[in-house]
Amino acid sequence: MTFIASPHPEQERPDTQKAPPIAKLAQLIGQAARFNGDLHGLGKGEKAALARLDPDGELRPHQVAALARALIYAGLEPERWSPETATENWRRWALIAHGMALAGHASGSLGKQLCAAGVSESRVTKLLTSRGDALRQLLPRLLRLLASKEVAPNWHELDNLLRHEGQNEETAEAIRTQIAGRYFSALAKSN
């Protein structure tokens, strides 16, 4: 019997190292550390530091430490970010880590999650029409609302929106339309 090696060995078995950083970050933030230095979870203090940080404000040393540890364990290499993109990358990942620490992460449609949490049409419209700093200021408030309703958002969708916002407006608009479509469809079905 002859075995032929697959040209894509990474497809033969699932490898957690190949998971996207957003998924690894969500798992890391969502799981409590079992011991000091645990690579699979954050300690209570680190999670609290991420939940309390202001993604657009000045980060305190313990917040930078918690964020850097989370990003590195998620497979990112902040020390390799170019000077041109480093500030924006830190801001984006700080917002994502902050949001995950507040509200968690879940699969599913963000639009349906917003509907399930009872987020008003006006708030969803405001979210989807906000750009730049206005979006970054609105998002933490929305995440606190989702957390209070015990509804975790889909960070894959939110990350895609944040990543393309201001960079590739056509893609960002398609993401906004998809979120809106799923929200209003879920809203119509619930009435």
For the chain, 191 residues long, give each residue's pLDDT as a single digit of tens.
333 433 333 333 334 457 889 999 998 888 766 666 666 678 888 899 999 999 888 889 999 999 999 999 899 999 999 888 888 899 999 999 999 999 999 999 999 999 999 999 999 999 999 999 999 999 999 999 999 999 999 999 999 999 999 889 999 999 999 999 999 999 999 98
Q: Is 8 inside any structural domain?
A: no
Asked if 42 and 98 count as a contact pair (C-beta separation under 8 A), the reply is: no
How many domains, the chain? 2
Of 74, 103, 132, the last residue of a domain is: 103
- Extract the tokens encoding 36: 């000091």
My answer on whether 112 and 123 are in the same domain is yes
Which of 84, 103, 122 is the last residue before a domain boundary?
A: 103
Candidates 141, 128, 146, 103; CA nearest to 183 is 128
Q: How far apart are CA 93 and CA 81, in angstroms?
A: 12
Shared domain check, 73 and 124 = no
Q: Cβ neighbours of residue 59 under 8 Å, at least 6 residues apart? A: 53, 67, 94
Q: Which domain range does residue 86 map to?
A: 19-103
Predicted TM-score (pTM) of this structure: 0.83
In a domain, 131, yes or no: yes
Tokens at residue 29, please? 């933030």
- Claim to verify: residue 191 and residue 110 sit in the same structural domain: yes
Domain boundary at 70, 103, 136, which?
A: 103
